[in-house]
Structure 1
């Protein structure tokens, strides 16, 4: 009896290997047949240490992984911006570089958590289309500019691809030519895929690509996501991520070699260990809440400070919200400002009204990697 192999294509650079590893663990833990998972890692020269991490994960679940060497020079002149590098373009050559006997693959980004059985996605009928995908709510603005006639735009983070149909239409070359002639694509290869495959994709249920915008839409509140996709710049491994399922990342990191990871920068973690100080968080918004929940010992934080007098005396995360006057009651205070108005707050508290001789200020950013 022939054993069905579930073919998964992934790629990332060394800086992203932890998050790709957590994704892979979630995928393998939630399938009933991890031994039948075939991973193809598009490798452009990642370190051996990163490969070892991927190999250990696959070995733990008896899955198979293959590293396919990619020449990154092909994409050197392609448009990149923000947190995106050339690796994003690798997915368009995946059908061309996997072994010839492979008929179908699932491409998966690294900023996702898989909670459904991936073989269910692999078996979906594509109705003679080249690929299956899920619409991207943020892509509506691109439809007119890209001249997409059917008014639909998909997210390329999770793709179910019919390899034979893709290659028979020579789509990799078509896409590479398109990108080279359109070097300012806002959403990189995703724009190119939508502009060229607008009539070749089958729309799948959003449960298979539960993007942040979908998760925040009340219309989909009853949907149980099978693949959670953190599509905004703020990711769950940073101090703040507004995806409702950001906690799932920490559920699966517990099964990994990165389980000691903490998004709070080391500098702040070390500061919080200095017992002679009293620590207050300035702000009572989502960033303050997220930062507080990631502090390993909640007893360190004395309470919160807010300028809104209506909040004074009430509780936030089971800690009291105080007037800024509270800083006059203590010596050696450290204020952790969880607000985009850091400079204004610092200037306010440095006024003559407050006793500030022994106060230190620290700005907490949404992205922990941006900590000054």
Structure 2
């Protein structure tokens, strides 16, 4: 960071975390997401014990407002705060709500774990890793939507709902007029996608391009397109 910035950047090498490597190796894997999603579950083990609060952010986001705002919010005694997921019932119910009825009630509030305000002491007390190990032994981890479902099980009825603008999920052009603070590109269409028609259908794609600067953005797109074609030819 610059000399005048109040921000300190610290790198944590997950390859040196035996706990994370063990979990990533054993837990169910999503090819699109990879098992890096399990890293947030060990935040309380990775970070300095003196750190009391964390605002966790996924990498597939675009921030348009000061993240210090939600960081300072009162959690009202809850261990976490998050935004309710608009497709939560579909995620837990799937094609037939009877399938996971022993795990979830589709009527329960369900949060998206891409942006989470965390009280680390409450996170530790929840014993997430212990509950995940038990869920894995019981065959539950193999049936649910990875760590996000697990977190919803662990913190069921014990989380604070944050305003939707701090995690606008799957943002489309219509969302631009609603002044979202954090756009969360959860689907396959991203503003950094290599196909122009994709970028024209999602919120703030042009803004994202100018944040990177046109020169860097188009160099990135050229690189991605070349890599994509090479992959296609190798597949044949």
Same fold by TM-score, threshold 0.5 exceeded?
A: yes
Tell me the distance in 2 between the aligned counterparts of 1:256 and 1:200.
46
Please state whether the residue corresponding to 2:168 is helix, strand or coil. Answer: coil
Residue 7 of structure 2: aligned partner:
37
* More contact order relative to length (CA 8 Å, sep ≥ 6): 2
Please give the alpha-carbon distance, in whole angstroms, between the structure 2 residues aligned to 1:256 and 1:170: 46
Report the counterpart of residue 243 of structure 1 in structure 2: 202
Instruction: Please say if residues 148 and 194 of structure 1, whose CA atoms lie closer than 8 Å, have aligned partners that are also in contact.
Output: no
Partners in 1 of 2:70 and 2:225 — Cα distance?
37
Q: Separation in 2 of the partners of 1:114 and 1:178? A: 34
In 2: Cα distance, 1:207 partner to 1:165 partner: 25
Query: CA-to-partner distance for each residue in 1:138-157, whole Å, 9 max, x for gaps?
Result: 22121653324761111111
Aligned length: 216
CA contact (8 A) 2:176 2:204 kept: no
TM superposition score normalised by structure 1: 0.51
Query: Given the two structures, how large is their TM-score scaled by the length of structure 2?
Result: 0.78
Q: What's the counterpart of residue 152 of structure 1?
A: 109
Residue 118 of structure 2 is matched in structure 1 by 161
Alpha-carbon distance, 1:225 to partner: 1.1
1:208–1:369 CA distance, 2 compared to 1 (3 A): farther
Structure 1 runs (4+) greater than 4 angstroms displaced: 38-42, 255-259, 367-372
Higher strand share: 1
SS of match in other structure, 2:190: coil
How far apart, in 2, do the equivalents of 1:368 and 1:137 lie? 35
* Match of residue 347 from structure 1: none
CA distance in 1, matches of 2:50, 2:219: 40
Indicate yes or no: 2:236 matched with 1:266: no
Q: Which residue of 1 aligns with 2:47?
A: 98
- Identify the residue that residue 127 of structure 2 maps to in structure 1: 170
Structure 1 residue 370 displacement after superposition:
6.5
Which structure 2 segments of 5+ residues have no match? none
Q: Please state which structure has a larger fraction of its residues in helix.
A: 2
- 1:139 has 2:88 as partner: yes
Structure 1: gaps of 5 or more residues: 1-27, 46-68, 268-366
Two-structure CA RMSD over aligned residues (Å): 3.1
Instruction: Give 1 or 2 for the bigger CA radius of gyration.
Output: 1
Partner in structure 1 of residue 181 of structure 2: 226
2:141–2:150 contact (8 Å) kept in structure 1 = no
Task: Give CA-to-partner distance per residue, 1:109-146, whole Å, 9 cap, x none.
Answer: 11111111111111011111110101112221216533
How far residue 179 of structure 1 moved from its aligned partner, in angstroms, is 4.1
